[in-house]
C-alpha cells in the first residue's frame, strides 16, 4: 500500500516535469509582468543578504528614486524565488525549480483533496487534468501571472483542509486550513478574494446539521487566525492603499475594467472584424476546459453516477465559477465592489480548473472502465475525442510562448533592480520627470557630501549658504522623517514627487530615515507569535494522534 501511494506521487512529479519541458528546453517564458516579479525577487534577495529580512521599500529601483511596491505586493512568491536562488546561485535554474515545484504541489494537493472522496485512481486522473489545464499552463507560459500561478499550489490544500474540517472538525485540519489560507493571503490577493467566495459556497454544501455551529465557529476562527498571522504584511499597506497609483481609476478602467473582460460574450462571435478585445484565446481555454467535463455531465444527466455531498458541492461551485467568467453574472460584478478589484473575470478559471479536474475525473474514470470492457464503441470514440482535444490544448499553450535564455535572464537580473518598476506601484504624486535630475541631493548650488545612502536611511552634509530647501532624489512617502543638525524638520513633496525639506543657512547635517508606525511593530510581534502558537499546536496534535494510533 505504501509503495502504491509513493508511486502515485512519483507519477505526479513526472507530470510536473513533463509540463515544464518546454521551459527546460526553451527558457523562461517572457510576458508583460515578468520584469516586475523578478524585480521584487531581486529586491528581497538583496535585503536578505544585507540582514533586512522583510524590506519596507526598495531603495535602488526607479533609477535610485525608490519604490514602495514591495510593501504592497504579497511577498511569498518573491521569497520562494529568492531562497531557491540563495541555494543554486542562478536565477534561471531557481525559476525552473520553483515552477516545477508549483506544478508538483498543486497536483499533489488536488490528489489529496480528491482521494479523500473519490479514491486514488480518480484522484490521480484529477491531478493530471489539473496539471494540464490550459489556464494553469497559460498562467506561466503566456501571461506569466507568477504570483497567481504560485497560488495554484496552495489553493487545492485550502479546499482539502476545508473539506476535512466540514467532514470531521478535527483540530489538526483546522490548523491546516489556517496555515494554507494564510499562505494564500501572502501569495496573491485577487486569488484570496476569489477563493474566499468559492470556499464559502463550497462549505455551505458540505456543512452537516449535527455540530454545524461548532464547524462554523472553527472555520471563522481559522480565518481570523490566518488574518492575524498575515498582519505583518497587510497592516503596512491597508492604511496606505490610496497613496499608490494602482488604487486610482486608471487601473480599473479600459484594459483593466472587469466589464470589458467577460468571456463568451456574444459580440465576440458576431463581430468577427473587431478583434480589439483579443479574448478569443481565453474563450478557447474555457471551452476546452468545459469539454473535458462532458463525460461526467453526461453520466450525471443519465443518472448513472451516485451523487454525494462532495459531488453536489463540487458541481455547484463549478457552475458558479463558470458563470462568473461570463456576462451572465454582470449584475453581481456591478454590485460587489471587491469583485471589481479583481479586474479580470477570467481569474475564475483557476477555480474552474481546480473543481473541473475533480468533476472530470469521475466521468473519465467511468468512461475508461466502459472502454476497457469493450461494451460501447460510442463511449470509446467520445472519450478519445475529448482527451485528444484536451491534450492538444496542453501542447498548444506552451508552443505559443516566447522564451528567454539563461544568459539573457541572468544578464537582465544584473541591472533589473535599478530599472523602472511598474508605474502602478508608484506613489500617486510621483512623476517620471524626476529622473532627469542626476544628483542625489540638490541644495541651491550648495556643496553636498553623502555619508550614507541606503533604502531606509539617507545621511548627508550640506555646506553653508543661502537658507532654503533641499531636494532629495527619492520619491516622497509619508513614512520619511528628517532631522537637520539634530532637530526634526518637516518632509514635504517636492518637484515631480520627490522629497523636499528645509535647510538653514549654516552647514546642515541631514538625517533622513524611513520609519514604520508603531502598529507595524505590534503586528509583526502578533504574526510571529501566531505562527509559533499554530506550529506548537500542530506538533502537539500530531504527537497526540500518533500516541492514540499506537494504542
Listed residue (212, 207, 152) closest to 183, CA to CA = 152
Q: Which three cell numbers mark 513?
A: 530615515
210 occurs within a structural domain: no
- CB 179: neighbour CB atoms within 10 A? 22
Mean pLDDT of the chain: 91
Tell whether the model's pLDDT for residue 272 goes beyond 60. Answer: no
Fill in the DSSP letter of residue 28. Answer: E
Q: Does residue 1 carry a pLDDT above 70?
A: no
Eight-state DSSP code of residue 390: H
Collapse the DSSP code of 476 into the 3-class scheme (helix H, G, I; strand E, B; otherwise coil) and give the result.
coil
Residues 149 and 292 reside in one and the same domain: yes
In a domain, 546, yes or no: no
Let me know whether 440 and 359 are in one domain. Answer: no
Instruction: State how far the Cα of 412 lies from the Cα of 47, in Å rounded to an integer.
Output: 19
Distance CA 180, CA 217 (A): 18
Residue 477, domain CATH = 2.60.40
Do 463 and 315 belong together in one domain?
Answer: no
Cell of 527: 504574526
Q: Which of 106-120, 240-254, 264-278, 422-436 has the lowest mean pLDDT?
A: 264-278
- Statement to judge: residues 332 and 370 lie in one domain: yes
Residue pair 453/440 in contact (Cβ under 8 Å)? The answer is: yes
- The mean pLDDT of 133-143, rounded to a whole number, is 94
CA distance 460 to 517: 24
How many structural domains compose the chain? Answer: 2
Residue 278 has pLDDT above 80, yes or no: no
Q: Is residue 8 part of a domain?
A: yes
Residue 533, phi then psi, degrees to nearest 5:
-65, -45
Please tell me what DSSP assigns to residue 421: P
SS3 category, 75: coil
Residues 453 and 406 occupy one common structural domain: no
* Alpha-carbon separation of residue 170 from 157, 166, 211, 223, 363 (angstroms): 16, 9, 12, 16, 31
**Predicted confidence (pLDDT) per residue in 47-73, tens digit:** 999 999 999 999 999 999 999 999 999
> For the residues 507-521, what does the mean pLDDT come to?
95
- The percentage of residues in the chain with a pLDDT greater than 70, rounded to a whole number, is 96
Mean pLDDT, residues 4-32 taken together: 91
CB atoms within 10 A of CB 216: 13
- 462 and 505 in a single domain? The answer is yes
CA–CA–CA angle 155, 157, 163 (5° rounding): 110
Question: What is the per-residue pLDDT across 150-162, written as a single tens digit (0 to 9) for each?
Answer: 999 999 999 999 9
- DSSP state at residue 481: E
Amino acid at each position: 500500500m505504501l509503495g502504491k501511494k509513493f508511486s502515485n506521487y512519483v507519477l505526479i512529479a513526472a507530470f510536473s516535469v513533463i509540463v515544464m519541458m518546454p521551459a527546460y528546453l526553451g527558457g523562461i517564458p517572457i510576458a508583460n509582468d515578468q520584469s516586475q516579479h523578478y524585480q521584487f525577487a531581486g529586491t528581497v534577495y538583496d535585503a536578505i543578504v544585507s540582514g533586512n529580512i522583510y524590506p519596507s521599500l526598495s531603495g535602488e529601483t526607479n533609477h535610485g528614486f525608490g519604490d514602495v511596491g514591495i510593501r504592497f505586493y504579497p511577498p511569498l512568491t518573491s521569497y520562494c524565488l529568492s531562497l531557491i536562488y540563495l541555494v543554486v546561485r542562478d536565477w534561471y535554474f531557481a525559476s525552473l525549480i520553483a515552477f516545477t515545484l508549483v506544478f508538483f504541489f498543486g497536483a499533489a494537493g488536488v490528489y489529496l483533496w480528491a482521494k479523500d472522496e473519490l479514491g486514488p485512481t480518480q484522484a490521480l486522473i484529477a491531478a493530471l487534468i489539473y496539471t494540464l489545464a490550459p489556464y494553469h499552463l497559460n498562467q506561466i507560459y503566456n501571461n506569466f501571472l507568477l504570483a497567481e500561478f504560485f497560488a495554484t499550489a496552495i489553493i487545492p490544500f485550502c479546499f482539502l483542509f476545508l473539506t476535512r474540517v466540514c467532514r470531521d472538525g478535527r483540530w489538526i485540519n483546522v490548523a491546516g486550513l489556517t496555515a494554507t489560507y494564510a499562505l494564500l493571503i501572502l501569495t496573491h490577493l485577487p486569488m484570496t478574494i476569489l477563493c474566499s467566495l468559492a470556499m464559502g459556497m463550497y462549505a455551505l454544501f458540505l456543512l452537516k446539521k449535527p455540530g454545524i455551529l461548532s464547524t462554523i465557529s472553527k472555520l471563522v476562527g481559522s480565518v481570523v487566525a490566518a488574518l492575524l498571522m498575515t498582519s505583518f504584511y497587510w497592516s503596512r499597506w491597508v492604511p496606505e492603499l490610496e497613496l499608490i497609483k494602482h488604487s486610482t481609476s486608471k487601473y480599473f478602467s479600459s484594459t483593466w475594467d472587469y466589464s470589458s473582460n467577460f468571456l463568451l460574450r456574444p459580440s465576440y462571435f458576431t463581430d468577427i472584424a473587431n478583434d480589439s478585445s483579443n479574448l478569443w484565446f481565453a474563450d478557447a481555454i474555457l471551452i476546452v476546459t468545459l469539454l473535458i467535463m462532458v463525460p461526467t455531465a453526461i453520466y450525471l444527466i443519465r443518472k448513472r453516477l451516485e451523487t454525494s455531498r462532495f459531488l453536489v458541492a463540487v458541481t455547484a461551485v463549478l457552475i458558479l465559477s463558470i458563470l462568473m467568467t461570463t456576462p451572465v453574472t454582470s449584475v453581481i460584478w456591478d454590485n460587489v465592489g471587491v469583485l471589481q478589484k479583481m479586474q479580470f473575470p477570467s481569474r475564475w478559471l483557476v477555480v474552474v480548473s481546480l473543481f473541473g479536474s475533480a468533476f472530470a475525473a469521475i466521468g473519465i474514470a467511468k468512461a475508461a472502465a466502459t472502454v476497457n470492457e469493450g461494451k460501447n464503441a460510442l463511449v470509446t470514440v467520445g472519450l478519445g475525442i475529448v482527451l485528444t482535444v484536451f491534450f492538444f490544448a496542453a501542447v498548444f499553450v506552451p508552443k505559443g510562448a516566447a522564451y528567454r535564455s539563461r544568459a539573457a535572464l541572468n544578464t537582465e537580473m544584473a541591472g533589473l533592480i535599478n530599472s523602472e518598476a511598474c508605474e502602478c506601484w508608484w506613489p500617486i504624486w510621483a512623476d517620471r520627470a524626476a529622473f532627469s535630475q542626476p544628483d542625489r541631493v540638490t541644495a541651491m548650488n550648495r556643496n553636498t557630501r553623502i555619508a550614507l545612502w541606503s533604502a531606509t536611511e539617507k545621511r548627508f552634509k550640506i555646506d553653508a549658504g543661502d537658507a532654503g530647501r533641499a531636494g532629495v532624489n527619492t520619491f516622497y512617502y509619508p513614512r520619511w522623517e528628517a532631522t537637520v543638525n539634530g532637530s526634526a524638520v518637516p518632509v514635504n513633496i517636492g518637484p515631480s514627487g520627490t522629497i523636499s525639506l528645509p535647510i538653514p543657512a549654516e552647514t546642515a547635517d541631514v538625517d533622513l530615515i524611513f520609519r514604520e508606525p508603531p502598529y507595524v511593530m505590534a503586528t509583526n510581534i502578533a504574526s510571529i507569535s501566531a505562527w509559533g502558537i499554530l506550529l506548537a499546536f500542530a506538533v502537539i496534535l500530531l504527537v497526540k494522534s500518533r500516541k492514540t494510533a499506537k494504542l
